[in-house]
Structure 1
């Protein structure tokens, strides 16, 4: 018996990084998984990998910055499987900007991907659950930077802090529908996207992971598969009645000072 046996799971931003790790973990735990991504190459390769291993997986090409595509991805999964039981919002834009140099265009890009897309994907998924009078679970991948973050993350923090509040608001609104909604504020994680970000915005070399790990309490960055296991737990019945929780999944302690 898997933790997600016979569940239908949609992972937004699931073709790489944390989202791909969640898709793999959900398939391993018995779910039928759909996941979105902008690029067909990685998405179709992951779907082929999961299907070849005996899983049930489908790739839905979608640019989540487009609200219509964010909501239609839910509709496509409902057409294919008849329902959505679990939703994971794992897509994220991490391009840099400070309060002083962020343009309206950059700000809007962050809002579109990091806040608006999860909002309307949740709207569509919850509407399906309410229509069927069925319970469901949602996990939003947020960031520990939502508590404040670095100066160069101003638009990212603004959007992700909004997602943190939205997670709690939606959980409260739909607790009587038996829809549980939680979030993870993840810390520094070794993903393909983070590698590109470090190289593009910070001039990092091939040894950036080792250099970063040396500055962290546990001596290493977080790993996507570790986060994925936690997400699967929150999606599953094993997490009980927990809803409205935004958990700091990090090795630095909020409020702790040296």
Structure 2
């Protein structure tokens, strides 16, 4: 057995968006590296049950909570539920998000509120509950927030989404700074265009994509693929682990296109 197989032997984690896509990929990676205590949160109970069955078969005590991220009490409650189940929790992954479309001109107040409630307010209160718990335990612990390259700017039709991810980027640094002397680390990953079940739904719903869209999209990418959740998961696992050392407050671009670059 390698050190990698046991890197998370003492990790008890909460993963939002844990029933599919990036969240599930991170959960799988943690279990592969020894994590045996996982609380998943998501909207789809059927997908949650499937994820539980898979991860339990891999040896992890896995629970699932159906969570509406726009419900602050529910966000705080998942921390309490995880602590009740496992005794303590020392890792939090905020992977769930709302990716609806809206420009500056056509975004309604309701859409703006839904976007910020889901993508910024929910992680805020999940981190609040997690940090309070870690302080009660004497400190320590790690948070990874999944953001987006859109935090840098984003397309015109992603105005409220980009703003919400930019807010979470600043919040990541604020939390990292505020609790570094308590040895609570907070970092973020900013992926580019990703190959996820949610992206397939988005492409078909908002952009009229048809079967084969993924192959066509990947053919035009510099590295011949979109970002893959299982590859990003290795980075998230590292950031959550003791091997990341003192690393905190980092916003890591995870993409094949470089922010600030221009055609030659």
TM-score when normalising by structure 1: 0.98
Specify which of 102, 107, 113 is matched with residue 118 of structure 2. 113
Structure 1 stretches lacking a partner, 5+ long:
none
Specify which of 130, 143, 148 is matched with residue 148 of structure 2. 143
- How far the C-alpha of 1:53 sits from its partner, in A, is 2.3
- How far the C-alpha of 1:55 sits from its partner, in A, is 2.1
Matched ranges for 1:15-30 at <5 A: 15-30=19-34
The answer as to whether partners of 1:27 and 1:57 remain within 8 angstroms in 2 is: no
Which deviates further from its counterpart, 207-216 or 148-157?
Answer: 207-216
**Aligned partner of residue 225 in structure 2, secondary structure:** coil
Specify which of 58, 67, 74 is matched with residue 53 of structure 1. 58
Matched ranges for 1:3-152 at <5 A: 3-31=7-35, 32-152=37-157
The answer as to whether partners of 2:31 and 2:58 remain within 8 angstroms in 1 is: no
**Aligned partner of residue 181 in structure 1, secondary structure:** strand
**Aligned partner of residue 64 in structure 2, secondary structure:** strand
Counterpart in 1 of 2:245? 240
Deviation per CA, 1:51-102, whole angstroms, max 9, x where unpaired? 1222221111111111111110111001111111000000011010000000
The answer as to whether partners of 2:98 and 2:118 remain within 8 angstroms in 1 is: yes
- How far the C-alpha of 1:158 sits from its partner, in A, is 0.8
Quick one: distance in 2 between partners of 1:98 and 1:238?
41
**Aligned partner of residue 143 in structure 2, secondary structure:** strand
The answer as to whether partners of 1:185 and 1:248 remain within 8 angstroms in 2 is: yes
Counterpart in 2 of 1:205? 210
Deviation per CA, 1:126-164, whole angstroms, max 9, x where unpaired? 000011113000000000011001000011001000000
Quick one: distance in 2 between partners of 1:197 and 1:170?
31
Q: How many residues align?
A: 258
Is 2:160 the counterpart of 1:155? yes
Instruction: Note the aligned Cα RMSD (angstroms).
Output: 0.8
The answer as to whether partners of 2:18 and 2:40 remain within 8 angstroms in 1 is: yes
Quick one: distance in 1 between partners of 2:53 and 2:232?
23
Runs of 4+ in structure 1 over 3 Å off: none
TM-score when normalising by structure 2: 0.96
